[in-house]
Structure 1
């Protein structure tokens, strides 16, 4: 009889429990991965010294770094500087033309840094007029380049920038790009602000393409600022996380559900040193 009652509750309880409740409890933090930073955030700081800038990054509590090697230091020197501060470097970037013309050179540079991922953040196109021809060029470059990177033990990821959401055959050119790239060779990184800027819903898109996503860039967009499909806007429209238009609880809930392991804050404002502590505090305040 006891076993029958237990079976009853296990069966009918599973019908009513929300999916996330099986893994998350009320009060658990929503931000559950190492705190990451995108190198572009500190574009105004590197000239003040690489060591000095890394000290700021360390003091703010960042544990992961995505980007390239700043001018003035070698890859080995930079890796040592990160390691001494307890910061890992899971991901670096590449230009589209580099990937298209010589993916092996891209792989060699990435391996010298000891990263796992190589990210491309822009597909060449006429501003505001991303086309099927542009997408087809990217599909070919990503599939070929991604294959070379995989053969070298690396994972290629495309960083969504917002201009890809031009309508196409009842969907968007972003959908076309995802469906025509090989999942074995091409993963995805969502920049949540650019996704929103281009007219898509970040949480819904995370759900739609599931494990194609491997990382996020986190930034927020000023309330009421104009949006379009250029993938370009001024630094005045980048605000601390939680102060803009994006729904970060929904984004983090879905990201956790699909198993995103890397999230990098990218602040494109001109007040990054003032904004970052606010963004970090906001992320840490979010609870289920």
Structure 2
């Protein structure tokens, strides 16, 4: 085993020892199927989970999402825009009739952001989110991005919204001796720029999500909830799976998150091996309904 692989293995082992990774998926599945700890909290779906189906029939797919039990929607900006060939108000009205609300959307924050903030504000959205920066050449590149985020944060504030950044695993990998997400947290305005912690990507990077929730209270106000496959090697990035079938023990993680300012719990599904996207979304909703935190 190489030194880097061993380090990642030890990080994941520490997560397991801390109680945030299940010793086996069967324990989690048993609790889920037994209905232990049922709760009535709200939870949402990142529509990227249905990226192949949604463009073909936005209204029909959204109707199925509502039937699965999702209360909230986090959209993304595809070819049909954040509102899927509907106006912002048409979209709000349609999903409202289905019992859902759009709370946030991923978008291109470098293009026509003022208009997007205005449209989001008109329908009561809470956040616009930068979904991806990608690995950068230097830590200064992340500092420059933080400056851009501060400007977006001011635009959002002016419109009654908040701005947030969604991480991937690269956000936790040191560059020039510093951790990018730490630099982003330090160099952004805590009153206008927030963070959406993708818990899967944090765990994949060998990070304990609870450490960030407690150290940076009220900065992580949204999160992505998705599981990591059992027996996935530490270096395997593409190992997400249906909630309840993997190794991440979400109840203790989300309890800590909620106690430290987390407001929105958004399911995201990226990989489909055992079910179609819609089947996966349905299974994920069933898991979230039974999760107590």
Between 147-156 and 274-283, the greater mean CA deviation after superposition: 274-283
Tell whether the 8 Å contact from 2:218 to 2:260 is kept in structure 1 after alignment: yes
Given the alignment, which residue of 220, 230, 244 partners 1:223? 230
Aligned equivalent of 2:25: none
| 49-58 or 219-228, larger mean C-alpha shift | 219-228
Per-residue deviation, 1:52: 0.9
CA distance in 2, matches of 1:154, 1:186: 10
Instruction: Note if contact 2:230-2:247 (Cα within 8 Å) is conserved in structure 1.
Output: yes
The answer for the alignment partner of 1:284 in structure 2 is 289
Deviation at 1:250, TM superposition (A): 2.0
TM-score normalized by the length of structure 1: 0.78
Q: Report 1 or 2 for greater relative contact order, CA contacts < 8 Å, sequence distance ≥ 6.
A: 2
* TM-score (ref. length: structure 2): 0.77
Aligned equivalent of 1:93: 106
Alignment pair present for 1:134 and 2:137 = no
Residue 77, structure 1, aligned to residue 93, structure 2 = no
Structure 1 residues 32 and 258: alpha-carbon distance in aligned structure 2, compared to 1, 3 A threshold: farther
For 2:241, the equivalent position in structure 1 comes to 239
* Alpha-carbon distance change, 56 to 106 in structure 1, aligned in 2, over 3 angstroms: same
Q: 2:74 aligns with which of 35, 41, 66?
A: 66
**C-alpha separation between the residues in 2 aligned to 1:191 and 1:30?**
23
Asked if 1:274 is matched to 2:282, the reply is: no
> 1:171 deviation in Å?
5.4
The verdict on how the C-alpha distance between 1:123 and 1:169 changes in structure 2, with shifts beyond 3 A counting, is closer
Taking a change above 3 Å as real, the CA distance of residues 282 and 28 of structure 1, as seen in their structure-2 partners, is closer
| Match in the other structure for 2:114 | 104
1:242-283 alpha-carbon deviations (Å, 9 max, x no partner): 222322122111022123221111111233222233323333
Please state how far the C-alpha of 1:75 moved relative to its aligned partner. 2.0
1:260 to 253, 259, 262: 262
Retained in 2: the 8 A contact 1:95–1:122?
A: no
Alpha-carbon distance between aligned partners in 2 of 1:73 and 1:233, rounded to the nearest angstrom: 35
Unaligned 5+ runs, structure 2: 1-34, 77-81
Unaligned runs of 5+ in 1: 1-26
Provide the rounded CA distance (Å) in 2 between the counterparts of 1:31 and 1:240: 19
RMSD (CA atoms):
2.5
The number of equivalent residue pairs is 251
SS in 1 for 2:217: helix
**1:33 equivalenced with 2:41 (yes/no):** yes
Q: Deviations over 1:123-177 (max 9, x none)?
A: 1545xxx630221121110112211211221101111222111225765221121
Alpha-carbon distance in 1 for matches of 2:257, 2:205: 19
Residue aligning to 2:205: 198
